[in-house]
Structure 1
Amino acid sequence: MKEALRSWLFFSLLVTVLSLGGTFCPGGEEVMVNPSFTQQREIYRFIQGFHTGLDDREEWELARIIVDESRRYGLDPELVLAMILVESSFYHRAKSAKGARGLMQLRPFVARVLAKEMGIPWQGKETILDPSTNVRLGLHYLSKLILRFRDLKLAIAAYNYGPSYVKEQLRRGKPVPTRYAERVLRNYRLLSRRLSLRSL
């Protein structure tokens, strides 16, 4: 009963956020026909419904990074938003009990390896807490997991539980926990219906 109530409250909040609009829209009317700009604007408006800990310009930059990095890895922006929503509710300084940090909740030892792969200078937790860098690292990691497991649901599960754990579960013929992945994918479907970023 409590779980059902929490789910109902969560989705009620999400629907409310999706109905909100934004006021900060730099660039001028001449760029409004640019699909990337339009996606960025819609993502920015969505982000504004959350307590991010960022100012307007930082939120606008975050929206741009989400658009650019989604395109880089061939991912739908709605999937990226769903991941961030579940991981941190868009609070850029979020920290889990296990030490995962930032928008996409990366643990420092994982983030450090990813940063090295991407040629990003490592400056400890400040690297993880930078919103743009956190999203870049998180999507690089997710894309690697998608290539490794060849299955989006398994890749999302591995993002949460760790690829070694998921690989071992599969090797032993045991089920992989899917509650986290199902929550992300449920939000992905909802956001796809509400935002329709792919059609912009």
Structure 2
Amino acid sequence: MKEALRSWLFFSLLVTVLSLGGAFCPGGEEVMVNPSFTQQREIYRFIQGFHTGLDDQEEWELARIIVDESRRYGLDPELVLAMILVESSFYHRAKSAKGARGLMQLRPFVARVLAKEMGIPWQGKETILDPSTNVRLGLHYLSKLILRFRDLKLAIAAYNYGPSYVRERLRRGKPVPTRYAERVLRNYRLLSRRLSLRSL
């Protein structure tokens, strides 16, 4: 019990310090917080506006994962937030009629292949309900689609409709449905103006 209380107090202190944008040493000089932590703080604040089904500490960890994985794949955090917003509204146990699950709404058969590629142990469908794992798998998948289609809008459409469907539409010279992708990109633009994470 004491250990749990100590962990919670440390977490609360960390969030308080980060909310100030920097820390102070006894000599009165300000020690600037790493920009990654500043991004994490802003994302954490944004996530708190939604019903995530997570506690504060889990939301803080989710914000960290979004920052880290965005950097890993060279993606803007605002794009990742826009994807999650459209897919699940940040509810980590969201489930679609087609069986897609979690924050980034991955279907189990797709997630299982991605998990194998990334060396993530697969423990059944519950694996993708873990927020950190879901985001890691989702961004790995999105990055693969971006490399395959060389076009962000097409990659986002393929994330939703499936790469085989999009590739076949292109092969036949038929238009690819873009309503979903346009919704994501519209939220991406709005979040970029609101959060300005790239400038942090």
Q: Is the 8 A contact 1:20 1:46 kept in 2?
A: no
Q: 1:17 — aligned with what? A: 17
Query: What's the CA shift for 1:125?
Result: 1.4
Q: Is the 8 A contact 1:114 1:140 kept in 2?
A: yes
* Residues 169 and 40 (structure 1), Cα distance of their counterparts in 2 relative to 1, 3 Å cut: same
Q: Which 4+ runs in 1 deviate beyond 4 A?
A: 1-32
Q: 1:55 — aligned with what? A: 55
Q: Is the 8 A contact 2:18 2:38 kept in 1?
A: no
Deviates more, 1:159-168 or 1:120-129: 120-129
Q: Is the 8 A contact 1:69 1:139 kept in 2?
A: yes
Query: What's the CA shift for 1:126?
Result: 1.5
- State the Cα deviation string for residues 14-65 of structure 1 (Å, max 9, x = none): 9999999999999999775210000000000000000000000000000000
* Residues 114 and 174 (structure 1), Cα distance of their counterparts in 2 relative to 1, 3 Å cut: same
Q: Is the 8 A contact 2:145 2:163 kept in 1?
A: yes
Find the residue that maps to 1:58 and give its secondary structure: helix
Gaps of 5+ in 1: none
Q: 2:33 — aligned with what? A: 33
Find the residue that maps to 1:183 and give its secondary structure: helix
Q: Which has the larger radius of gyration?
A: 2
Q: Is the 8 A contact 1:50 1:90 kept in 2?
A: yes
Q: Is the 8 A contact 1:21 1:45 kept in 2?
A: no
* Residues 105 and 42 (structure 1), Cα distance of their counterparts in 2 relative to 1, 3 Å cut: same
TM-score norm. by structure 1 comes to 0.85
RMSD: 10.6
Q: Is the 8 A contact 1:22 1:45 kept in 2?
A: no
Q: Is the 8 A contact 1:94 1:102 kept in 2?
A: yes
Aligned residues with identical type, % of pairs: 98
Gaps of 5+ in 2: none
**Counterpart Cα distance in 1 of 2:170 and 2:64:** 37
